[in-house]
Amino acid sequence: MKKLLSVAASATLGASALVLSTPGTAVAGNCTPIDGGGYLHYFCGKVFNRATKSVAVAKGSPSTFYKYVAPGGYAGSDGYGTPGVDIDGFRIPFGCSMTWTYVGSAPSRYSTDGVGAWYKINDLTQVTIKTVTC
């Protein structure tokens, strides 16, 4: 699991403090704020679709359908100053296979519904769907 690492050093004490925070799957509209030196940058889960078929994505929980992302499109955002749209997962339809790459934590199977299997992602993860074959 990728962790956000923040190091703060105290020159007068000659010591350093290490703070680790692990982003979780967020709820709708809830992104991870990171201090950008006087402004906040909000990290939200994001899915890019480079496949030739639309891909279902979730918002609010890793298996709550939000919308379909058309080929060449994306869902989610990086918000500067204000939170963006937080994507929490994507679905692989039953009978289909999908290839993807990711930056951040690996997507993990979360649940199934009547259509397919949902994979969850966290705030710091960006997934690029490469192919969908049915």
Mean pLDDT, 10 residues at a time, the chain of 134 residues: 31 28 46 78 88 94 91 81 79 96 94 95 93 96
What is residue 59's three-state secondary structure? coil
Predicted local distance difference test score (pLDDT) of residue 76: 86
The reported pLDDT for the residue numbered 61 is: 84
* Number of neighbouring beta carbons within 10 Å of residue 41: 15
Alpha carbon distance 45, 23 (integer Å): 10
Per-residue pLDDT, 22: 40
Show me where the domains of the chain are located: 4-133
Q: Give the largest CA-CA distance in the chain.
A: 62
Q: What is the model's pLDDT at position 12? A: 27
User: What CA–CA distance (Å, rounded) separates 69 from 99?
Assistant: 16
